[in-house]
Amino acid sequence: MNSDATNLAAWAATDEKSRGRRYTEAPPTFRGEFQRDRDRIIHSTAFRRLVYKTQVFVNHEGDLYRTRLTHSIEVAQIARTIARALQLNETLCEAICLAHDLGHTPFGHAGQDALNECMKSYGGFEHNLQSLRVVDELEERYAAFPGLNLTFETREGILKHCSLNNARQLGDVGERFLKREQPSLEAQIANLADEIAYNNHDLDDGLRAGLLTIDELREVPVFRRQHDVVLATYPEVSDRRLIHEVVRRMINYVVTDLIETSAAAIGEAAPADVDAVRQHSGSLIQFSDPVRTEHLELKRHLRDHVYRHYRVLRMTNKANTVISGLFETFFKRPELLPTEHFESARDLESQAGEAGRARAVADYIAGMTDRYAITEYERLFDPAKRS
């Protein structure tokens, strides 16, 4: 039974055309294959941890900031709207979005950069690849197989980027990077929905934190245009409602553009099916040129005013200290790792030498929430703290 198959375009991903799972399973009785993927993701341990992982602001800085969990849910919301409007597989889109950040380290991008630096001589660390590793290997929820045994299509969508070197080792999901093919349209949507979500919620959070000002934001055309409209329509509106109304309209503006531009591009390319989508020369999910420019301008403004603000940089700096302190200590003395992680360090080392040991340490650190990483750091380095 597949409740996803109604009203789908010929080029949508469907259960019938799925390339299947790594370990063969009987089809689900009451759900579609991608519903099953989504449900497995929701029940995973890594998904629950997202609530205590930083998007930009560390969890303890305030209760109202986005976390990786609320970020992932917002991405899924935006992607579902786009998928449905384009008659694509909404459930597959949702599954990809909910899983896309499962491999993220504690402390947001600062944590990813720090761990990548630690792993430089051992194959590096990349959160996309780690998200795939979480769903393929690290989750332990099924007696019959490691990981969540998701469909090829969900895994393909999770792996947004990948170096050619890594692609060669990844089997089926790595192939498209070697052949320079595209992923499904659902994966392309998830990718851009991620950018739309963080651009807009980081603006909202940046204002809330006092890192951004309305005056400076008015230098960004996509903001200024919506701000002018809202002020003209509701001159008496309170500041809080004003911001939310502007952000809401900004999201609507870029999403509408994305749907219309993509519908035209798909119409023109007229792919026969999802394989024709994969072989198309570029991404068919796209912004119009003017909106892409505006989208990038907002991104740049956020980079200069939020991600490089001294208060955010202090957090970045702390993240570096914590992650590199943990990594160096555990790599040198794996016997300090909790037993199950020590065992996987030993197993991976027997297969791949020092790079294997490093990978097990990186798996342990990447799985930590912000607060767990801080506590673990204190347990290792603060003599007053219980071990």
Burial class (CB in 10 A: 0-12, 13-18, 19+), 86: buried
Which lies closer to Mg ion via its Cβ, residue 126 or residue 194? 194
Residues numbered 112 to 141 that lie near Mg ion (CB under 5 A) are: none
| Least gap, CB of 274 to Mg ion (angstroms) | 24
| Nearer Cβ to Mg ion (101/202) | 101
Residue 198 beta carbon to Mg ion: minimum distance, rounded to whole angstroms = 6
To the nearest whole angstrom, how small is the minimum distance from the Cβ of residue 100 to Mg ion? Answer: 6
Q: Which residue is nearest to Mg ion (CB)?
A: 194
- The span from the CA of 42 to the CA of 94, in Å, is 11
For Mg ion, the binding residue among 4, 194, 257, 294 (CB under 5 A) is: 194
* Nearer to Mg ion among residue 183 and residue 356 (C-beta): 183
* Phi-psi sector, 127: left (phi>0), alpha (psi -120 to 50), beta: alpha
For the CB of residue 32, give the shortest distance to Mg ion in the complex, in Å: 25
Choice from 15, 33, 90, 101 touching Mg ion (CB under 5 A): 101
Q: What is the DSSP letter of 150?
A: -
Closest approach of Mg ion to the CB of residue 98, in Å: 11
Query: Which residue's entry shows tokens 């798996």?
Result: 363
Residue (of 208, 155, 192) closest to 23 by Cα position: 155
Task: Identify which of residues 194 and 205 has a Cβ nearer to Mg ion in the complex.
Answer: 194
State how far the Cα of 254 lies from the Cα of 191, in Å rounded to an integer: 14
Stretch that binds Mg ion, among 101-109, 113-121, 208-216, 360-368 (CB under 5 A): 101-109
Q: Residue 190 or 348: which CB sits closer to Mg ion? A: 190
Q: Which stretch binds Mg ion (CB under 5 A): 129-137, 186-194, 211-219, 365-373?
A: 186-194
> Which of positions 14-73 make contact with Mg ion (CB under 5 A)?
none
Residue 55 CB, nearest distance to Mg ion (Å)?
A: 8
Contact 58, 315 (CB under 8 A): yes
What span, in angstroms and rounded, lies between the C-alpha atoms of 13 and 92?
Answer: 8
Q: Which is nearer to Mg ion, 149 or 154 (CB)?
A: 154
Backbone dihedral angles phi then psi of residue 170, each to the nearest 5 degrees: -100, 0
Per 3-state DSSP, the chain is made up of helix, strand and coil in percentages (nearest 5) of 65, 0, 30
- Smallest distance from the beta carbon of 196 to Mg ion, in angstroms? 11
Residue with tokens 């007696």: 143
Q: Which is nearer to Mg ion, 37 or 101 (CB)?
A: 101
Sign of CA dihedral 114, 118, 120, 126: negative
Distance set, CA 119 to CA 65, 154, 266, 284 (Å): 30, 27, 40, 35
Query: Residues 361, 94: contact at Cβ < 8 Å?
Result: no
The dihedral sign for the CA sequence 139, 142, 143, 149: negative
Q: How far is the CB of 44 from Mg ion (least distance, A)?
A: 16
Stretch that binds Mg ion, among 94-102, 142-150, 273-281, 377-385 (CB under 5 A): 94-102
> Nearer to Mg ion by C-beta: 69 or 374?
69
Number of residues engaging Mg ion in binding (CB under 5 A): 2
Residues that bind Mg ion (CB under 5 A): 101, 194
